[in-house]
Amino acid sequence: MEHENLVKFIGLVFHDKYIYLVTEYMSKGSLVDYLRSRGRQHISRKDQINFAYDTCCGMEYLETKKVIHRDLAARNVLISEDCVAKVSDFGLARDERYTGDSSKLPIKWTAPEALKEGKFSNKTDMWSFGILLWEIYSFGRVPYPRIPLADVVKHVGSGYKMEAPEGCPPEIYEMMRQAWDLVPEKRPTFAELKRRLYNCKRETANTYVT
């Protein structure tokens, strides 16, 4: 797989009993660290929509290839020198419609049907993308900040959805809410959100024209 919003795989190095995975160098580190270290003073609305759009483009490509990432989160999106966001860490990726163990997955980023039944699809990735959007617009806060980890599954299963982060545009929050629909089939596709995010990106660019 190769796409401008996926971290590029270069090759493998076999040395003694070790195997080294070589990828392109992403000089600005993970998206979550980037958001936390710079915060509201240095990250603009334009930066936020660009990160969201870039990540969605990478995920839409995976969607067309029928690949499930299974561990999408801001910590697994890396930022290049020219501030392009790229999806990385494919250690848990599987073919479409995978059913398997979910015990090692991060509860706060994983869709209810994956946690309860071990069912994964591009729709479970969409749930995670909704959480990632929340991370972007909260400048890297940990999701469900006021709910103990042990209670997250119960709250989410009963229909609880996080509130919009401070300053989050209504149209972006609506995308989050749709991504967190308890019925997987009702969640949007990455292709749909890519179009909507592109429109937001254009509007934001026009707003920030100097």
Cα dihedral 12, 6, 34, 192 in deg (nearest 10): -160
Phi, psi for 131 (deg, rounded to 5): -65, -40
- Active-site residue, from 16, 47, 54, 71: 71
Residue 29 C-beta-side C-alpha neighbours within 13 Å: 7
Query: How is 50-78 classified by DSSP, letter by letter?
Result: HHHHHHHHHHHHHHHTTEE-S--SGGGEE
187 secondary structure, DSSP code: S
SS3 state at 200: helix
User: Catalytic: 71?
Assistant: yes
**Contact yes or no for 191/63 (Cβ under 8 A):** yes
Residues marked active site are found at 71
